[in-house]
Structure 1
Amino acid sequence: MAAGCVLWRRSPAAAGGLEICLVHRPKYDDWSHPKGKLKRGEDPLAGALREVEEETGHRAVPGARLPTAEYEANGRPKQVRYWAAEAVSGGFVVNHEVDRLVWLPPPAARDRLTQPRDRTLVDALLHVLHLA
């Protein structure tokens, strides 16, 4: 089992605008929401927030639960639980899992995401924030 967040912040440039954080993982050469495997016995929300901090350097305040992504990877079923989470502090430093990070407005984030299944999470975030 894995967990992650659709990490967002208020845009520092556009008044009232919203930006979504995407990470680039060189191992897969993809753009995605921060996520990762849970440790044995770890609470999924705690694991999601830990993964966000490990991959992005940002601490986050969790919000609403978002849809769970279910798919196959290398012939095995995968399930990733997601939450909305607002970035409150921190900053990105290149690490062993993530070499780039971008903050994008929702339409650009939707376009940048590698996997179509991740795009529905952008829509779900906007819905729970009452912006859709």
Structure 2
Amino acid sequence: MPNLESLFEEFVKSLLTPEGKIARSRFASEAEVEEKVDEFRILLSGLSPEASSLIEKFENDPGLHSTSLSTRLKTLVLYGKSIVKLLRAGIIHGRGTLIPAPDFSGLTGTIPELQAALVARWKEIQIARNVGLWGVAIMLM
């Protein structure tokens, strides 16, 4: 199963020519461009809650609501490339992604059982975060 990063990469490639320019000729109508916008929104729904401000910015971007099909396609490409970079850098993640716990051994050297408890808590906090339960995640911290 492809990961979210590769799905965004493929999406961006589908909008570009081999030379890296917007492939405007592939999209003859507004309906075809709107299909790509809908496809992009589906991909966005796979991002973790931390990406909500980016999604909101995308939805309010004037380029997305332009009457120019080329401008709309360019907006999709720009956001798609940005998201790929953010995913690669680990700044945002796919929904449901669990990041491995850090090494707590420096803190838990005298109480070895604490390491397992901290790792379990780390996982619980991420699960709460992934489903948007920020209050629960904060309380678990």
- The structure that is helix-richer by fraction is 2
TM-score by length of 1: 0.22
Structure number with larger C-alpha Rg: 2
Higher relative contact order (CA 8 A, sep 6+): 1
Greater strand share, structure number:
1
TM-score by length of 2: 0.21
